[in-house]
Structure 1
């Protein structure tokens, strides 16, 4: 057993290597990263191809699948690539081959595929057993002269074949077809460009090696996508082509057709690069279905063999330009494109501008043409030597034939003619293999002509190899030849500036009337007038009640004031439409609010430019006025401040429609009347000023604007409604306690909870009155609040929470007020709180109240 253990220990010591896990992960991941960066995901700057693409094109070239030859099954090609050069799955090879054939992905397709090779709708290609393929004419220019040792070859994965490390590439394919890829730590996104423009820029670089980026941009104006479209952003193009990174906007090409005099159709004929057409149509139709945009009648994909066409029919009277702008802003009819021009330069990933990429390409072409010229020179020199021997042989042909006849075999013949006539081994080989008919006079002249041509060719090749200027001229000539054969007109239009589309959502909303309800617990509902009329019951949470209910236009805006000194800007069209019997949407699902935050008043606004003042009052007596126009905002996804509050203070009252007086009423029944002019107008972030002096435990319940000719009603905590008249209230300066309005009793006292002014016009119209308790709502009229001989007024509801007298439909009449019984101005400034009481001879203080004349309830 010990021997076995010893052997086991020895085996473990010899075979098991102890290495830290982080060292293993580091080295293995570094090796993997190097592989996927250099040999998988990123293109080579010289030929613009990834390894799998290069292997596909090379294998097809070796199989003889030229553009003018017959097609071969794609499965056969994928098998050839996989078996000889690319040891990965056949599906990845086939997918790469399909992409090389798609004219909506490649500016110049490099594979000519016969059969279903996918579509711009995202449909996948047919299986490789069904499709056939061959090289395109353009791909042959990438492979041209590869057999002339123009590029270096390396062994394949099993060392049985040789594969090229790069293709000769007669045109700058990286810029022409672009590239996309993601590797470890690097990604590339290069858009396609127009071949004619790229070759012009390359020729300009050859003519002037010191050319600047600005001069290059005169030739390469911007990307040229196979799907066309409109590219905006000259600055982004310039930045990208200079530095390798930049942003542009790609917009669909559209036009507007007239269906009838009042109805239009938007037609899309080109869409942005790499946008899926079927998804785009579905995206726009979803906007229509979800009522995000109400003026779209129908969307149809009418693409056929004549080209792409998406038809968007609009409703009668719709603004076609507005609809188009909205679709550009909210759908993939317009997308942004971010350049990230990373390619492999000298075995390293580098972010490069166009000028650097073109310089690398020109250097590559120098190497290619040099290698080709060396190959052709060697071949021409060898042939020239043979031709020299043949010509020499013609002068001694009889003696050569005689020597061959004397010889025993071929090798003996070669040795004999070398010994007797001075031919080299290569010349001797050519002579013994010569057919006798070639000794005719005609063929001897052909040898003389071939000799002259070979001399000229050798001289030209030697000049190219010894003169860089001629080398560059050769590259330039070949580029211009490719340009002549392959160039095509630009498909993408360019616009210098990016158009900033601003859409007012109100422009997209149909103008219609709708019913709106807001409850005290914060539920909001919007329903059609039809649903409101048909509903026999109102959908409300238990013990909830409306504090606002009214007919509004979808273009109106609700301003919801909360007790936390905030307001919510809520356009009516933003409220989801429901049935009137539904519960509605809780405000927190529309705009986030704080815990304990409640809606205290609702204002419906049609026009924020009107001159309206709003009165804000807190429970601790702070008060200010603001302008309605200040409440308008463009972003409204959260609550906004309307008044700065001190600690433990809350906003309790909001009133609109400024009048000459302000009436403030405290919870314990004190009322103060003062001139509106005394209260300043502040911004939304400011706090207020002191409006009313309060007892230690008292707080302001409500404040409102009023004219001297107005009456007002106030609601008590016990559900009583009491009427009073503004003119009977003495006018004091601000920051006074005022006079007592309601008799206080020790058991179940009446506390003031709400109040509202009543004009003579409202009385005439007998307007509606909304009385809200903690559990329900009572809708009544002014006439039902008729005065009773009770100092605590008329009981209307169980307990008071809120009251509102609806405004009149007609403009209010101007009624000249009777002379008010007010203290003089001098006295006002010196008024003291003691004026609200009288002192008896026994030094007892009695509170003044005009309600002492009436009996208890």
Structure 2
């Protein structure tokens, strides 16, 4: 091993921790977060400084952007050219910056997200307001540090003669920190600075009398003054930004929505595309056409509606479901004293004021030194003019310039600086008329020195200078506010009746989870026959609903699925439906056990769920209504080995009739079950023996006149009156409903509640179908046994049982 090769044995976590720590510190301080004083990130500051030093200012012609990018990379920012050019372009985009710091000729991108032209095609220069960012920078107002190769100097901060951080805002993501500061109105921000100067204790409430809130370059409507106030107090807060839209009436009972301003940072092309997709998907049936009519005169998006469709509910739906309305979250983090800091409004204003005071103090010192030096020279020149002949004679008698300077200092008492000025004087200046100019300059310099000393000695004088300069900037650059501010956040209530055309359809759901809606025309054309499904599948739900209704599907794992009927796939009666897992993600082991159609959630009805381990839960139907429905929702907390065997909608005053595997039955009023919220467990419904479980659950309607049909696993059936099981309390074991045989006792397959004319259809594994109407069976007592309907040895075991309605002969 050579002398130069030295290896260190260090733990990996120590090395990685150290390297990532250094990297994070660099990202936070020197790349992604803005400085609280000038509101700029290092790359932005370097671009502005490089353009200023090159004389690429607003009063000079435009120059190629590539020249500036090369200059920035070569002298100040040794990174990729694309990152520099992107930062440069962003500062020139009038939909991103409230006051552009760079003016650009050529394609600098668009609000549609189009990329800018390459930097070799575009030209740029500093804007007039950018001159205020760099004003007095050559008067030692800010610290200059060596650049990356120590060949030049660059500023650590710009003088920033207006509060750029608040005016243009900032956004950035670094290691562990992110910032989102919205743009504001220049005049309002300067008024807030002036108020804070006048009253350093001014509260957010007082400051908001002049600084009302953000002012986005794209305009729009801001809602939520409380969110603005909270953000100004804490650095974090939420507001709603909404597009500006009007509803215009056209000829022939038609309307159109015209959007003239969109929320900040929203891509217009994507927004128009999303609205048009809603028209194509028929999620919004009332839209005839979506057009982008934006041109040089301004933004204009037109949503043309179909005849006799009202614009108000369509607009509400678009606001709720597209980026016509977005949430903006303040996160006011900036670099303050070299640290990332969550800034309140007062902290931001105070940081800016302290910076400006330092700028004025440093500028005044610089100007004072210059004025003193010049006064010293002027006094020397005046003295020289008063003894001009002696001075000329002394200079003529000298050998060279150095000797002449020495002679002037020795003979007449001039200082070296004065002597240098005298020997450098041009001959034409040696006239008597110049003494008056010198006296005038002396007087002006003395007044200037007094003024500068008063600024440096008096805080009050310094503040008055700052106030005057801020007012000048305000007068020159103020613009009217673009964003409107509304106090409250308006809750958008979408009226589905208007958005979804009313149409009666047949909704079907199969046991395997295939779902569809079918037009009445397609259903009638098939006479309700030839329904498409797999051989092993059977129909779980079939009902005529309206497209404005909803469907609730309940699963055995304690979830429910919320589906608006109009969003179900529209499929012909003779075609296979779409599997529900392609609409809502569902666990492969999870099965749908029941489906209910709901016309109105605000009724005195409940969803009742019963588990195999004897738990029951009652929840108000209104709790099942949701706004977003892209996943299954929890409706009952289950223990690990438990499953839901029945779930459905029940009216108040209904009864619950449960039967266990060992044929115990219990009957009680639904009101015995307390009403619980969605995400809770149930209460005990039935006290089960070891090895027993609930096999059948029936919700008996109030004023019932029905019976129950009991089916055993061995294919036995009997009809029994409900009153054989008396109404009692829940959580009991119940009474036996079959005679217990010593050999091969019957076990319950299911129990079905039927009314007059109804019945059941038993389907076996071998495909046998047996229709059993209730009127064909006489009533049996509780202790009686069953009569056999099928022989499981030859016909196969029962696979499932369907309920037959009074009119139905052959269920699908």
TM-score, normalised on structure 1? 0.77
1:249 Cα deviation from its structure 2 partner: 2.0
Q: Does 1:131 pair with 2:122?
A: yes
Equivalent pair of 2:657/2:697 in contact (CA under 8 Å): no
1:149 Cα deviation from its structure 2 partner: 1.5
1:63 Cα deviation from its structure 2 partner: 1.1
308, 325, 341: which one pairs with 1:350?
A: 341
Whole-Å separation in 1 of the counterparts to 2:570 and 2:60: 65
Equivalent pair of 2:705/2:755 in contact (CA under 8 Å): no
1:389 partner SS: helix
545, 561, 565: which one pairs with 1:552?
A: 545
Q: How has the CA–CA distance of structure 1 residues 287 and 319 changed in structure 2, closer, same or farther, with 3 Å as cutoff? A: same
Within 5 Å, which residues of 2 pair with 1:159-198? 159-198=150-189
1:76 Cα deviation from its structure 2 partner: 0.8
Task: Note the alpha carbon deviations across 1:803-856, whole angstroms, 9 max, x for none.
Answer: 5443679xxxxxxxxxxxxxxxxxxxxxxxxxxxxxxxxxxxxxxxxxxxxxxx
Q: How has the CA–CA distance of structure 1 residues 74 and 792 changed in structure 2, closer, same or farther, with 3 Å as cutoff? A: same
1:137 partner SS: coil
Whole-Å separation in 1 of the counterparts to 2:637 and 2:408: 117
Whole-Å separation in 2 of the counterparts to 1:409 and 1:543: 118
Q: Does 1:315 pair with 2:314?
A: no
Within 5 Å, which residues of 2 pair with 1:218-617? 218-260=209-251, 262-503=253-494, 508-534=499-525, 537-558=530-551, 570-586=563-579, 590=584, 592=586, 595=589, 599=593, 603-607=596-600
1:15 partner SS: coil
Whole-Å separation in 2 of the counterparts to 1:169 and 1:697: 78
Task: Note the alpha carbon deviations across 1:120-164, whole angstroms, 9 max, x for none.
Answer: 111111111111111101110111111112122122222221222
Structure 2 equivalent of residue 806 of structure 1? 805
Structure 1 equivalent of residue 86 of structure 2? 95
Whole-Å separation in 2 of the counterparts to 1:563 and 1:63: 74
Whole-Å separation in 2 of the counterparts to 1:623 and 1:28: 57
7, 12, 15: which one pairs with 2:5?
A: 15
Task: Note the alpha carbon deviations across 1:189-229, whole angstroms, 9 max, x for none.
Answer: 22222111221121222222333343333332211211112
Structure 2 equivalent of residue 25 of structure 1? 16
1:298 partner SS: strand
1:367 Cα deviation from its structure 2 partner: 1.8
Whole-Å separation in 2 of the counterparts to 1:708 and 1:181: 67
1:258 partner SS: strand
Q: How has the CA–CA distance of structure 1 residues 406 and 575 changed in structure 2, closer, same or farther, with 3 Å as cutoff? A: same
Task: Note the alpha carbon deviations across 1:2-34, whole angstroms, 9 max, x for none.
Answer: xxxxxx4xx25x531424144443443333333
1:466 Cα deviation from its structure 2 partner: 1.7
Q: How has the CA–CA distance of structure 1 residues 401 and 100 changed in structure 2, closer, same or farther, with 3 Å as cutoff? A: same
Equivalent pair of 1:623/1:690 in contact (CA under 8 Å): no
1:82 partner SS: helix
Task: Note the alpha carbon deviations across 1:501-542, whole angstroms, 9 max, x for none.
Answer: 344666643211112223344433322234434558421111
Q: How has the CA–CA distance of structure 1 residues 62 and 533 changed in structure 2, closer, same or farther, with 3 Å as cutoff? A: same
749, 763, 776: which one pairs with 1:773?
A: 763
TM-score, normalised on structure 2? 0.81
60, 65, 74: which one pairs with 2:51?
A: 60
1:101 partner SS: coil
Whole-Å separation in 2 of the counterparts to 1:668 and 1:20: 70
1:84 Cα deviation from its structure 2 partner: 1.5
1:109 Cα deviation from its structure 2 partner: 0.8
Equivalent pair of 2:656/2:697 in contact (CA under 8 Å): no
1:437 Cα deviation from its structure 2 partner: 3.3
| Matched residue count | 773
Whole-Å separation in 1 of the counterparts to 2:615 and 2:41: 72
Q: How has the CA–CA distance of structure 1 residues 203 and 429 changed in structure 2, closer, same or farther, with 3 Å as cutoff? A: same
Structure 2 equivalent of residue 845 of structure 1? none
Equivalent pair of 1:644/1:686 in contact (CA under 8 Å): no
Whole-Å separation in 2 of the counterparts to 1:188 and 1:146: 27
Within 5 Å, which residues of 2 pair with 1:646-725? 682=673, 685=682, 688=685
Task: Note the alpha carbon deviations across 1:84-127, whole angstroms, 9 max, x for none.
Answer: 22222222211111111111111111111111111111111111
Task: Note the alpha carbon deviations across 1:23-56, whole angstroms, 9 max, x for none.
Answer: 4434433333332222222222221111111111
Whole-Å separation in 1 of the counterparts to 2:169 and 2:649: 64
- Select between 402-411 and 34-43 the one with higher mean Cα deviation: 402-411
1:293 partner SS: coil
Within 5 Å, which residues of 2 pair with 1:62-77? 62-77=53-68
Equivalent pair of 2:562/2:626 in contact (CA under 8 Å): no
Q: How has the CA–CA distance of structure 1 residues 616 and 774 changed in structure 2, closer, same or farther, with 3 Å as cutoff? A: farther
- Structure 1 alignment gaps of length 5 or more: 1-7, 763-767, 810-857
Q: How well do the aligned residues superpose, as a CA RMSD in angstroms?
A: 4.7
Equivalent pair of 2:248/2:255 in contact (CA under 8 Å): yes
Task: Note the alpha carbon deviations across 1:622-654, whole angstroms, 9 max, x for none.
Answer: 999989967864477547769999999985798
Whole-Å separation in 1 of the counterparts to 2:26 and 2:647: 71
Q: How has the CA–CA distance of structure 1 residues 185 and 440 changed in structure 2, closer, same or farther, with 3 Å as cutoff? A: same
Whole-Å separation in 2 of the counterparts to 1:623 and 1:53: 65
Equivalent pair of 1:264/1:316 in contact (CA under 8 Å): yes
Whole-Å separation in 2 of the counterparts to 1:268 and 1:515: 38
- Structure 2 alignment gaps of length 5 or more: 676-681, 728-733, 779-785
Whole-Å separation in 2 of the counterparts to 1:96 and 1:187: 17
Whole-Å separation in 1 of the counterparts to 2:558 and 2:338: 64
